[in-house]
Amino acid sequence: MSTMTDPPKSEFRLSMLINDTRYRSLTFQVIAAIVIALCIWYLGNNLIQNLRAAGLNISYSFLGDSAGYDINQRLVEYDSQSSHARAALVGLLNTLLVAFLACITATIFGVAAGVLRLSNNWLVSKLMAVYVEIFRNIPVLIWIIIIFTIMTAVLPAPSAFRGENPSSSMLFDAFAFTNRGAYIPRPEFANGLFSSTALNWLLVIAFLIGSWFATREIEKRATKKQEETGERPKTLLLKLGVWLVPFALLMLVMGLTWNIPELKRFNFSGGINVGGPLIALWFALSIYTGAFIAENVRAGIQAISKGQTEAAAALGLRQGRIMNLVVLPQALRVIIPPLISQYLNITKNSSLAIAVGYADITATLGGITLNQTGRAIECVLLLMLFYLTASLLISTVMNFYNASVKLKER
Partner 1 sequence: MKKSVILGAATVAGLAAGAAVAGTVDDVKARGTLNCGVTTGLVGFAAPDANGEWQGFDVSVCRAVAAAVLGDANAVEFVPTTGKTRFTALASGEIDMLARNTTWTFSRDVDLKFEFVGVNYYDGQGFMVPKALGVSSAKELDGARVCIQTGTTTELNLADFFRANNISYEPVPIETNAEAQQQYLAGACDVYTTDASGLAATRATFESPDEHVLLPEIISKEPLGPLVRHGDHEWGDVVRWTLNAMISAEELGVTSANIDELSAGTDNPEVNRLLGTEGTLGEMLGLDADWAARAVKAGGNYGEVFAKNIGEETPIGLARGLNAQWTDGGLLYSPPFR
Partner 2 sequence: MADQTNNPIAFVADGNIPESPPPARETGVVKWLRENLFSGVANTILTVLSLILIYLLLKNTLPWIFNGVWNANSLAECREILAGKTGACFAVLAERWPQLIYGFKYPVDAYWRPNLAFILMLVAFAPVLFFDLPRKLLLFTAVYPFIAFWLIWGGSILVPLVALIGCVVAGGVFQKFGKNSFAAGFFGAIVVALVIWNIGGALIPESASENAWLSPVPSRDLGGFMLNMMLGVTCVSLSVPLGIALALGRQSNMPLIKWVCVIFIEFIRGVPLITLLFVASVMLAYFFPPDSTVDLFLRVVIMITMFSAAYIAEVIRGGLAALPRGQYEAADSLGLDYPQAMRLIILPQALKISIPGIVNVAVGLFKDTVLVSVISMFDLLGMIRGPILASTEWNGVYWELLGFASLLFFVVCYGISQYSQWLERRLATDHH
Residues that bind partner 2 (CB under 8 A): 18, 25, 28-29, 32-33, 36, 43, 46-47, 49-51, 53, 116, 119-124, 127, 133-134, 136-142, 145-146, 149, 344, 348-349, 351-352, 354-355, 362, 366, 370, 376-377, 380, 383-384, 387-388, 391-392
- Give CA–CA dist 217/208, Å, rounded: 14
| H-assigned helices in 121-175 | 122-136, 140-154
Of these, 180, 184, 192, 347, which contacts partner 1 (CB under 8 A)? Answer: 180
Contact at 8 Å (CB) between 277 and 93? Answer: no
From the number of C-beta atoms within 10 Å of its C-beta (0-12, 13-18, 19+), residue 113 rates as: buried
76 interacts with, out of partner 2, partner 1, none, CB within 5 to 8 A per kind: none
For partner 1, which stretch binds (CB under 8 A), given 123-131, 163-171, 192-200, 265-273?
Answer: 265-273
Of these, 95, 107, 179, 211, which contacts partner 1 (CB under 8 A)? Answer: 179
Could you say which residues in the range 61-80 bind partner 1, by CB under 8 A? 68-72, 79-80
159 interacts with, out of partner 2, partner 1, none, CB within 5 to 8 A per kind: partner 1
E strand or H helix that includes residue 257: strand 256-259
269 interacts with, out of partner 2, partner 1, none, CB within 5 to 8 A per kind: partner 1
Please, which residue, 155 or 291, has the CB nearer to partner 1?
155
Question: What is the residue-wise DSSP string for 211-239?
Answer: HHHHHHHHHHHHHHHHHHHS-PPP-HHHH
Of these, 153, 190, 198, 407, which contacts partner 1 (CB under 8 A)? Answer: 153
Please, which residue, 141 or 274, has the CB nearer to partner 2?
141
The angle subtended at Cα 136 by Cα 131 and Cα 139, nearest 5°, is 125
Q: Please report how close the Cβ of residue 181 comes to partner 1 at its closest, in angstroms.
A: 9
* Nearby residues of 375 by Cβ (< 8 Å), 6 or more positions away: 59, 62, 369
From the number of C-beta atoms within 10 Å of its C-beta (0-12, 13-18, 19+), residue 338 rates as: middle
| H-assigned helices in 55-121 | 84-117
Could you say which residues in the range 352-381 bind partner 1, by CB under 8 A? 354-355, 357, 359, 363, 367-368, 370-374, 376
SS3 for 7-24 is CCCCCCCCCHHHHCHHHH
Verify binding: residue 305, partner 1, rule CB under 8 A: no
Please, which residue, 266 or 400, has the CB nearer to partner 1?
266
Please, which residue, 155 or 370, has the CB nearer to partner 2?
370
Helix, strand, coil % in the chain, rounded to nearest 5: 70, 5, 25
Contact at 8 Å (CB) between 51 and 58? Answer: yes
Q: Please report how close the Cβ of residue 116 comes to partner 2 at its closest, in angstroms.
A: 8
The angle subtended at Cα 284 by Cα 364 and Cα 401, nearest 5°, is 85
| Contacting positions for partner 1 (CB under 8 A) | 50, 53-56, 68-72, 79-81, 145, 149, 152-153, 157-160, 178-180, 264-267, 269, 276-277, 354-355, 357, 359, 363, 367-368, 370-374, 376
